[in-house]
Structure formats: structure tokens, C-alpha cells
């Protein structure tokens, strides 16, 4: 069997199916997301396995099942106990790695119990994968929850093709070395033959960490690490979305009807939209303060502009996130209280998950999309917005600290999210840009996303890996 014919085994924290119990029967509902969109057709075509947590807490009777799905590949459901979820998922993954890798050192917790749980769960995932494979598959591990799995699989399958992709940023040496177990994370990742990152900066950070922390020979030009026994290839592969899907939905009659109704109800007002999980890395607090500054500096826009902030609930069981939500709720209330006039309020704050068809209507109806994370691996909202703008009348205001800035900066208004004055000026520039200039920029952005969609990302990564 050639490399191109090999089955693919995808390993991620969560599997692409949810277990749904209907009376006495069990059903499997496919999840919606970029990774599922990209890899589902590849696995269906080549055959293979997708393994990960079943999403349930402590319900072991649904765990460790391998189910053949209609799509042509199998799904292996793994179970986590309540303590596992507390220490591995909420703990090391999201209270240690997530903040640290985004540069928030003082939000990070370095707890030995968290680390022990992380090691144990990574070993558990590796053991369960080894029960399912013969050694001639392509093994593709996903994201920061499973950074020890590549080396654990390598020990058992020294000749296998092992790949890894990190969906979040990789930190600089000065930040990463704060982690007490930094060398073990690096060694875990180097079990892979190919390591994929979102940006060139992330890939370079990883190489520099290996050079400084482990003393390994590094070729920055080719992205090659020399382990002695074998090379490790490091490269950036910016992830994307299903452009055709978003573009098609944006052009649907139902979408256009909702947009017309939306605009009819808000005559002579412009809309600026922001969408993200309620997470401190997304710059929501800083954005709200920038909006406050916008109305202070440009009072002529009162009653003419509405900011629509969609915040999707996230990690609600983690203390820092609960505190952050209260802070955002209070800030929105203060700003609306300060600037509201008659029936107009400057910020329409939505704290819930919005159905995709409604969200696409919001994108299309908005004159500006404000994407200002403090740090982001990629940020697919920016790509979703331009994909939903076939008429070209919108404008993207983008943080220079988003991974998508590498691709989209030439045709966006770039801002520093910590600079409230600069973001306020960027919002004004977006609102006042000529229609011709907006359409020119939007056409260029849409071309970038269309030519580098999520299928291109998956195929590029796999083809690059097969050649090495």
C-alpha cells in the first residue's frame, strides 16, 4: 500500500459525532465545525478511524466503543471520568496550556495534579489508538490537548507516519520556558514526522524552543530538526473554512429575506459585528473600551451605528471564565447606560450560540466586522465574514495579533487591540471608506479564502507529509 493509499487515523480531543439517546436507542449526530468539514470527506474517501473523547462525563458505558459510521470510516469513542475532565481538560489543557500559549502567563496555573492527569490521559489515548492500528496507517494528532501522544505512538510504532497540527499559537522561548514541563512537551511533539502550525511565526517559535531548550540542530530555512535518528519537519499551514458553503448560504433567498427585514427595522443605521467565544484572549474587554472611545471621540455616530457583539458561552465551569463574564456584562451595561438615547443603544450584546443561518445573515447585513483578538492562532470569523460578503460592501477591521493577519492584512484595516484610540480610528475609517475601495478589498479577501479553503489546508498538509 502506497502512502497515498494509506488509511488515515485522526486523533483529537473530541470526536466528530455526539452520542444522542432517544428512548432506548442510541443515535450518533455529526458535529459542525471546520475540522470535521475538512477531514470527514478525506476519511470517507480513504477509509480510516477518528478517535477522541465522547464528550460525556463519567458515562463509561458509552466509552471505548468503535462504531462504523455511514460516511465510510469508524469512530472510536473514548471516555473521561469527572476527575479527568476537571484535571486534564479544564485543568492542564485550559488553565495551563491555553493561557500560556496565548501569552497570558499570569492566567496560567502550574499544578502537578493537572500535569499528572495530562500525562495519564495522553497515555490512555495512545493506548486506545494502538488497539486499533496495524502500523501502516497515517496517524494525524490534533491540537494542544494531546501533545504527548506523538512520542507515545512513536515508541510503539517506530516506522509509522505520524503527523501533528497545532490549532493555537506556539509561544516564544521566553514565555514557553516558564512551563515546568516544557522540555517534555517538546519531546512529546517531536514524536511526529511533520509538525504543522498556523503561522510562520508559530513554526519559528517552536524551532527556536527546540534549539534553546533541547540544544537540537535546527535549519530555520527548511524547517528541519535533526533528532539524529530521523528528521522532524516543521511548517506553517494556515487553516481555513469551507468557502463554498458560506458563500452559498449567504446568497440563499432565506438569507436575503432576513437581511432585508433586518435593515428595514433599522433604517439609516450601520452595523458592526463581532463574534467569538467568551474568552479573555479574544479582546472583548479591550474592544468594548475601544467602542466607548469611538463614541466619545466621534459623537456624530451616535444613533447611526450599532455594535452587535455575539459572545458564545465557553468553559463556564472554569472560575476565570465566570469572573470574565461578569466583568463583560457590567462593562456592556455601563457603556449602554452612558451613551443610550431614546430607543437606541450602542451595543446589542448577545450571549448565546446563534444558529449558523442566522449568523450568516448578521454577517451579510453588517457594514464592518471587528475582529480584534489579543492573540489568536488563526481566527476563522474573519474568513467567515468575507465569505458571506458576495456583494463586497463590508469591511474587515483586523487585529495584527490574529493568525489570519498573515494572509489578510493587505486588504483589511489593521489595528492594535490594546490601542483604544487606534481601534476607534480604524472603525471610523472602515465606516467612511468609499464603496469602490471596499469592494476592491473584499474581492481580494474573498479570493484569498476561496483559493485557500479548508480542503486545500487538509490536502496541502497531507501531501507535504507524504512527500517526507
Task: Confirm if 200 and 236 have CB atoms less than 8 A apart.
Answer: yes
State how far the alpha carbon of 202 is from the alpha carbons of 181, 236, 391, in Å: 19, 8, 34
Q: What is the DSSP letter of 353?
A: P
The tens place of each residue's pLDDT in the chain, 468 residues long, gives 455 568 899 999 999 888 887 777 788 888 877 678 788 888 888 889 999 999 888 766 667 788 998 878 999 999 999 999 999 999 999 999 999 999 999 999 999 999 999 999 999 999 999 999 998 999 999 999 999 999 999 999 999 999 999 999 999 999 999 999 999 999 999 999 999 999 999 999 999 999 999 999 999 999 999 888 899 999 999 999 999 999 999 999 999 999 999 999 988 899 999 999 999 999 999 999 999 999 999 999 999 999 999 999 999 989 999 999 999 999 999 999 999 998 899 999 999 999 999 999 999 999 999 999 999 999 999 999 999 999 999 999 999 999 999 999 999 999 999 999 999 999 999 999 999 999 999 999 999 999 999 999 999 999 999 888
What would the pLDDT profile of 23-64 be if each residue is shown by its tens digit?
Answer: 777 888 888 776 787 888 888 888 899 999 998 887 666 677
- Picking from 156, 106, 99, the residue whose alpha carbon sits closest to that of residue 133 is 156
Which residues participate in catalysis according to the annotation? Answer: 167, 376
State how far the alpha carbon of 43 is from the alpha carbons of 66, 87, 146, 396, 442, in Å: 15, 31, 20, 34, 33
Please indicate whether the domains covering 3-239+455-466 and 243-451 agree at the CATH topology level. yes
Residue boundaries of the structural domains of the chain = 3-239+455-466, 243-451
Please tell me whether the overall predicted TM-score, pTM, comes out greater than 0.75 for this model.
yes
Task: Confirm if 26 and 64 have CB atoms less than 8 A apart.
Answer: no
Q: What percent of the chain has pLDDT over 70?
A: 98
Q: What's the order of all strands across the beta sheet hosting 8-14?
A: 65-68, 74-80, 48-57, 8-14, 138-142, 161-165, 194-197, 231-236, 224-226, 218-219
Strands 17-22 and 25-30 turn out to be: antiparallel
- Picking from 277, 453, 293, the residue whose alpha carbon sits closest to that of residue 373 is 277
What would the pLDDT profile of 194-230 be if each residue is shown by its tens digit?
Answer: 999 999 999 999 999 999 999 999 999 999 998 888 9
C-alpha cell belonging to residue 171: 509561544
SS3 string, 135-171, reads CCCEEEEECHHHCCHHHHHHHHCCCCEEEEECCCCCC
Task: Confirm if 426 and 432 have CB atoms less than 8 A apart.
Answer: no
Query: Which option is the CATH number for 243-451: 3.40.50.2000, 3.40.50.2300, 3.30.465.10, 3.40.50.1110?
Result: 3.40.50.2000
CA distance 35 to 198: 14
CA atoms within 13 A on the CB side of 72: 11
pLDDT given at position 1: 44
Helix (H) or strand (E) holding 297: helix 284-297
What's the sign of the alpha-carbon dihedral 68, 69, 70, 71?
negative
Query: Which option is the CATH number for 3-239+455-466: 3.40.50.2000, 3.40.50.410, 3.10.290.10, 3.30.110.30?
Result: 3.40.50.2000
SS3 string, 50-89, reads EEEEEEEECCHHHCCEEEECCCCCEEEEEEECHHHHHHHH
Amino acid at each position: 500500500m502506497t502512502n497515498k493509499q494509506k488509511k488515515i487515523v485522526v486523533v483529537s480531543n473530541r470526536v466528530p459525532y455526539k452520542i444522542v439517546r432517544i428512548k432506548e436507542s442510541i443515535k450518533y449526530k455529526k458535529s459542525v465545525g471546520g475540522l470535521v468539514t475538512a477531514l470527514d470527506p478525506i476519511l470517507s474517501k480513504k477509509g480510516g478511524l477518528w478517535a477522541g473523547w465522547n464528550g460525556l462525563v463519567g458515562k463509561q458505558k458509552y466509552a471505548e466503543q468503535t462504531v462504523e459510521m455511514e460516511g465510510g470510516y469508524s469512530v472510536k469513542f473514548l471516555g473521561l471520568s469527572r476527575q479527568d475532565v476537571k484535571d486534564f481538560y479544564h485543568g492542564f489543557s485550559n488553565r495551563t496550556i491555553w493561557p500560556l500559549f496565548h501569552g497570558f502567563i499570569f492566567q496560567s496555573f502550574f499544578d502537578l495534579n493537572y500535569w499528572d492527569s495530562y500525562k495519564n490521559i495522553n497515555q490512555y489515548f495512545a493506548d486506545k489508538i494502538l488497539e486499533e492500528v496495524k502500523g501502516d496507517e497515517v496517524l494525524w494528532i490534533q491540537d494542544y490537548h494531546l501533545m504527548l501522544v506523538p512520542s507515545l505512538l512513536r515508541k510503539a510504532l517506530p516506522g509509522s507516519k505520524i503527523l501533528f497540527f497545532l490549532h493555537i499559537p506556539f509561544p516564544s522561548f521566553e514565555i514557553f520556558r516558564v512551563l515546568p514541563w516544557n522540555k517534555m512537551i517538546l519531546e512529546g511533539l517531536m514524536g511526529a514526522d511533520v509538525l504543522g502550525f498556523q503561522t510562520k511565526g508559530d513554526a519559528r517559535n517552536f524551532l527556536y524552543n527546540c534549539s534553546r531548550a533541547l540544544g537540537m540542530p535546527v535549519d530555520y530555512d527548511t524547517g528541519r530538526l535533526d533528532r539524529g535518528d530521523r528528521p522532524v519537519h516543521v511548517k506553517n499551514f494556515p487553516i481555513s473554512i469551507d468557502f463554498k458553503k458560506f458563500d452559498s448560504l449567504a446568497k440563499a433567498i432565506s438569507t436575503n429575506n432576513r437581511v432585508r427585514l433586518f435593515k428595514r427595522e433599522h433604517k439609516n443605521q450601520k452595523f458592526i459585528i463581532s463574534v467569538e467565544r467568551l474568552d479573555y484572549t479574544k479582546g472583548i474587554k479591550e474592544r468594548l473600551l475601544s467602542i466607548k472611545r469611538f463614541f466619545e471621540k466621534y459623537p456624530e455616530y451616535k444613533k447611526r451605528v450599532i455594535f452587535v457583539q455575539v459572545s458564545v458561552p465557553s468553559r463556564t465551569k472554569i472560575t476565570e471564565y465566570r469572573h470574565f463574564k461578569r466583568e463583560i456584562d457590567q462593562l456592556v451595561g455601563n457603556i449602554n447606560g452612558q451613551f443610550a438615547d431614546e430607543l437606541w443603544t450602542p451595543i446589542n450584546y448577545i450571549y448565546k450560540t446563534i444558529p449558523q443561518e442566522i449568523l450568516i445573515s448578521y454577517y451579510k447585513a453588517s457594514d464592518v466586522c471587528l475582529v480584534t483578538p489579543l492573540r489568536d492562532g488563526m481566527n476563522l470569523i474573519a474568513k467567515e465574514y468575507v465569505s458571506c460578503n458576495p456583494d463586497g460592501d463590508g469591511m474587515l477591521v483586523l487585529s495584527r495579533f490574529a493568525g489570519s493577519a498573515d494572509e489578510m492584512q493587505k486588504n483589511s484595516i489593521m489595528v492594535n487591540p490594546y490601542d483604544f484610540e487606534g481601534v476607534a480610528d480604524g472603525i471610523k475609517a472602515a465606516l467612511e471608506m468609499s464603496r469602490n475601495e471596499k469592494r476592491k478589498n473584499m474581492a481580494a479577501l474573498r479570493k484569498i479564502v476561496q483559493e485557500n479553503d479548508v480542503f486545500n489546508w487538509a490536502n496541502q498538509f497531507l501531501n507535504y507529509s507524504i512527500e517526507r
